[in-house]
Amino acid sequence: MLLYHPAMVEVFVERGNQLADSRRLMDNDPQYASALALVSIHCAIALNDAFLSKVTGRHHRGEDHMESVRVTRKQCSSRRIPSDGVKHLEDLVRAKTRVSYSGERTTIEVAMRLAIASERFERWVRPLIKT
């Protein structure tokens, strides 16, 4: 018996795919530094929601995305899944407030650094969300 709804996981995967494609399109383009940073962060959040939906049947709904990082770590620990990829999600979530709401302009270097973190998280999580 499946503990999750495949359709729900699929929604998050699709969202993550679109954001990953956008990230690739804007890669290394200084004209889109802020957008690149934002899609990088949200791509990882969407793919993590796919992972949590699959393993728990639920995804994170609150404003505090760091809580979803904690839940992910806990799930990895209880299922003996190597959690080395989760640190990239944590870096992205930590950067989210600054990139989304602060008055500071996002540089292309920071955006690229976030894009790389997003890619690394994606590499870690993809095999775990295959249906």
Partner 1 sequence: MGTAIDQDMTNVRAIGRPKINARLRHGRAVNAVADFLRGHLRVPNVYLEPKSALWKGVDVVAADGAGSGDIHAAEVRFLSYPISLPAARALIEEVKNVPAHFKYLTVNKNSVSLTLGDGSLMFSPDGIGRVGLLMIEETQDALLSVELAVKPERFRLPPTDAARVERFLDRAKPDMFVRI
Residues that bind partner 1 (CB under 8 A): 28, 91, 94-95, 109-110, 112-114, 116-117, 119-120
By beta-carbon proximity to partner 1, the closer residue of 74 and 94 is: 94
Report, in Å, the least distance between residue 98 CB and partner 1: 9
CB of 116 to partner 1, least distance (A): 5
Would you say 39 or 55 has its CB closer to partner 1? 39
With vertex at residue 5, the alpha carbon angle to CA 49 and CA 121, rounded to the nearest 5 degrees, is: 25
Residue 76 or 117 with smaller CB distance to partner 1: 117
CA 45 – CA 61 distance, rounded (Å): 11
What three-state secondary structure class fits 105? Answer: coil
Nearer to partner 1, 71 or 117 (CB): 117
SS3 (DSSP) at 101 = helix
Tell me the closest approach of the beta carbon of residue 29 to partner 1, in angstroms: 12
Residue 5 beta carbon to partner 1: minimum distance, rounded to whole angstroms? 34
Long-range contacts of 98-106 (CB under 8 A, 24+ apart): 99/34, 99/37, 99/38, 99/41, 100/38, 100/41, 105/33, 105/34, 106/33, 106/34, 106/37
